């Protein structure tokens, strides 16, 4: 019973938090929509830009995509390189398992 109340409690928190501010997804979508509309306006010729600026402008969405991909790849690589064991967490988990086993066997469950 106690174990179950944890995740459910967090689920209850979720929507209220989302109503108060925007969810992360909505924030990202808004930012992308803003950037995209600015890009579209500039590419369609809202301002008179020199031709070299114009040439930089039109592949910018692809550039954004590529830099996001590079960032993701670099993050994965960095985390792989600096991966380490969590010995304290392992010890804590083991002690919790022992505790749970003792509790359950006290209530008559056999392993």
Binding site for another protein (CB under 8 A): 52-53, 55-56, 58-60, 62-63, 65-67, 69-71, 73-74, 76-85
* Smallest gap from residue 51 Cβ to another protein (A): 8
Query: Would you say how long the chain is, in residues?
Result: 111
Query: At its nearest, how many Å lie between another protein and the CB of residue 90?
Result: 13
Least CB distance from residue 29 to another protein, whole Å?
A: 19
- Token digits for 15? 């929507």
Instruction: Kindly state the helix (H) or strand (E) to which residue 107 belongs, with its residue range.
Output: none
Nearer to another protein, 30 or 71 (CB): 71
Name the residue nearer to another protein (CB basis): 91 or 101: 91
| Per-residue exposure over 59-80, b if at least 16 CB sit within 10 Å of its own CB, e if not | eeeeeeeeeeeeeeeeeeeeee
């Amino acid at each position: 019973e106690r174990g179950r109340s944890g995740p459910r409690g967090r689920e209850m928190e979720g929507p209220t938090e989302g109503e108060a501010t925007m969810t992360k997804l909505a924030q990202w979508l808004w930012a992308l929509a803003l950037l995209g509309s600015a890009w579209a306006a500039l590419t369609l010729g809202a301002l008179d830009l020199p031709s070299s600026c114009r040439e930089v402008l039109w592949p910018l969405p692809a550039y954004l995509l590529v830099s996001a991909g590079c960032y993701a790849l670099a993050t994965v690589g960095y985390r792989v390189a600096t991966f380490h064991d969590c010995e304290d967490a392992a010890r804590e988990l083991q002690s919790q398992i022992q505790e749970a086993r003792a509790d359950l066997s006290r209530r008559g469950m056999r392993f």
